[in-house]
Amino acid sequence: MPFLTAALAGVIFGIGLLLSGMASPVKVLGFLDLTGHWDPSLAMVMAGAIAIGVVGFAFAKRQTHSLLKLPMELPRATAIDRRLIIGSALFGIGWGLAGVCPGPGLVSLAMGIPQAIIFVAAMLAGMQLSGFIQKRLRFK
């Protein structure tokens, strides 16, 4: 059952990305181009997602277990440290360069778009490096 619900959540997430237009990097870059001809679509996506999310997470926070009796694994980290800032800053730079973030990257990969295949492969390599950095440098 947890597999089925996770798969269904993945399908709905992907359909949401496609319907919202966020699977297209041009739309994302249109949003990030604040000083140009600005396309506010991404702000609507965030607003719609958070409007639903706020209700669901408010309920989730009060539970110790999920409806499928699995432990409620809400993030416990609250630290606003150098790692969070540097990582997020880098993520934003990469996002701004291509207009692709991990979700849309995977959906476009599934659609067989060569540039998305390159993006996801490089992303996996970047994730590997981050694991290495964190282990070797005890980067905090």
Partner 1 sequence: MSIDWTHFTFGQSLTGGMLIGLAAVMLILLNGQIAGISGIVSKLFNVRQGMWRWAFVMGLLLSPYLYRFFATLPAAQFELHWSVYLIAGFVVGLGSRLGSGCTSGHGVCGLSRLSKRSLVATVVFMGTGFATVYVARHLIGE
- Cα 121 to the center of its chain, rounded Å: 16
Q: CA–CA separation, 63 vs 53, rounded Å?
A: 15
Q: Which is nearer to partner 1, 65 or 136 (CB)?
A: 65
In the complex, the smallest distance separating the C-beta of residue 34 from partner 1, rounded to whole angstroms, is 5
Contact 15, 104 (CB under 8 A): no
Taking the CB of residue 83, how many other CB atoms lie within 10 A of it?
Answer: 14
Among 79, 135, 136, 138, binds partner 1 (CB under 8 A): 79
Q: Which is nearer to partner 1, 54 or 136 (CB)?
A: 54
Residues 87-106, interacting with partner 1 (CB under 8 A): 87-98, 100-106
Residues 40-59, interacting with partner 1 (CB under 8 A): 40-42, 44-57, 59
* Contact status: 78 vs partner 1 (CB under 8 A): yes
For residue 123, give the amino acid letter.
Answer: M
Q: Would you say the C-alpha torsion 116, 84, 127, 9 has a positive or negative sign?
A: negative
Residues 5-24, interacting with partner 1 (CB under 8 A): 5-24
